[in-house]
């Protein structure tokens, strides 16, 4: 293998640039030519493919977002779009791809290899931490810290006004951000898609005479089965009309900002190992870190399995919020 390309696809995550940087520098180390594909699979179809060198990634390790941009490509879901993408790679002699993204990114890479034989290695890039085969995904640690810092600030005004705040964090299908940021931020209750009956629990907690607190913080994952933060707040206010309930939706602020040291190191490890894996003939696998060791997981397995929250952390949450 002499030429590979790298792309970022799906939602952006802090640390993607650190991963791109690692891929480029690993290619230089192994004497490979490397190309950057702008705007993910859509850029692959539209031939937005450019040579990159180590100087292309100077001074980006601390930057959020992705210098290669990202996009969700409907065209790549069609045989015609993938055929055009393959032709563009053939014209440049590119023999493999490092794909940084989530389940959709892995699915596209797997189908592309099956149809045209272009091997890919995946690096898990999503703040949701919902990908199987790795303890943490690129961007997750930064998102937790961003949410925690916001909760800390909200706590000040909640205390000052004796208010109850419902803070909504990202995680339509995953409660990882809500659980860890809630524990770190000292939340009195956490709502996540993976668990139920949280509303009954916080009502019981609020009514407890042993808990004489004049304000409270509840963290809500945006996809929680109990409903989003506004719906939960309305239900709570209806039961306790004397309370002053407020909602704060953190939204996309969780995706931005400078990546933490953990995310930079994780991303660097994953990018370098993805390049070496392609050289070694691996394909259709995601690179992850489990118990601090590098682990390879097939795209098929990573897509099919759902990564649940850690039970011991949920138990901890139930203990320390009482």
Kindly give, in sequence order, each residue whose CB lies less than 8 Å from that of residue 133, ignoring residues fewer than 6 positions away: 124, 286, 288, 290, 295, 296, 297, 301, 302, 305
Q: Are 194 and 175 in contact (CB under 8 A)?
A: yes
Q: Are 251 and 143 in contact (CB under 8 A)?
A: no
Residue with tokens 């001074």: 59
Kindly give, in sequence order, each residue whose CB lies less than 8 Å from that of residue 319, ignoring residues fewer than 6 positions away: none
128 annotated active-site: yes
Distance between CA 123 and CA 17 in Å, rounded?
A: 12
Distance between CA 289 and CA 293 in Å, rounded?
A: 5
Catalytic residue among 128, 130, 224, 263: 128
- 219: nearest Cα among 259, 255, 170, 260: 170
Q: Are 254 and 146 in contact (CB under 8 A)?
A: yes
Distance between CA 154 and CA 261 in Å, rounded?
A: 25
Consecutive H or E run containing 237: helix 229-239
Distance between CA 115 and CA 254 in Å, rounded?
A: 36
Q: Which two tokens stand for residue 271?
A: 């990018």
Rama region for 129: left / alpha / beta (φ>0; ψ in -120 to 50; rest)? left
Three-state DSSP state, 287: strand
Residues that are catalytic: 128
């Amino acid at each position: 293998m002499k030429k590979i390309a790298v792309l970022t696809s799906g939602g952006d995550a802090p640390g993607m640039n650190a991963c791109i940087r690692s891929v480029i520098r690993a290619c230089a180390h192994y004497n490979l030519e490397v190309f950057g594909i702008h705007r993910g699979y859509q850029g692959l179809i539209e031939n937005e493919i450019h040579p990159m060198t180590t100087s292309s990634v100077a001074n980006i390790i601390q930057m959020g977002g992705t210098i290669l941009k990202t996009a969700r490509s409907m065209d790549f879901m069609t045989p015609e779009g993938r055929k055009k993408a393959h032709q563009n790679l053939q014209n440049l002699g590119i023999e493999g791809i490092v794909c940084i993204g989530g389940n959709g990114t892995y699915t596209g890479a797997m189908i592309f290899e099956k149809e045209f034989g272009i091997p890919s290695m995946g690096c898990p890039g999503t703040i949701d931490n919902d990908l199987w085969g790795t303890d943490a995904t690129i961007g997750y640690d930064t998102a937790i810290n961003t949410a925690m810092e916001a909760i800390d600030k909200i706590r000040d005004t909640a205390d000052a006004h004796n208010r109850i705040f419902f803070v909504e964090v990202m995680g339509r299908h995953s409660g990882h951000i809500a659980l860890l940021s809630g524990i770190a931020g000292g939340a009195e209750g956490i709502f996540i898609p993976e668990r139920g009956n949280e509303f009954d629990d916080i009502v019981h907690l609020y009514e407890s005479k042993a808990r004489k607190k004049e304000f409270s913080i509840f963290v809500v994952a945006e996809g929680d089965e109990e409903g989003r933060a506004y719906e939960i707040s309305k239900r709570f206010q209806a039961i306790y009309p004397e309370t002053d309930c407020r909602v704060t939706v953190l939204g996309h602020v969780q995706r931005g900002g400078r990546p933490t040291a953990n995310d930079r190191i994780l991303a660097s490890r994953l990018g370098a190992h993805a390049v070496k894996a392609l050289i070694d003939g691996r394909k259709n696998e995601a690179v992850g870190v489990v118990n601090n060791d590098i682990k390879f997981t097939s795209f098929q397995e990573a897509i099919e399995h759902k990564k649940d929250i850690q039970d011991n952390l949920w138990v901890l949450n139930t203990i320390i919020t009482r």
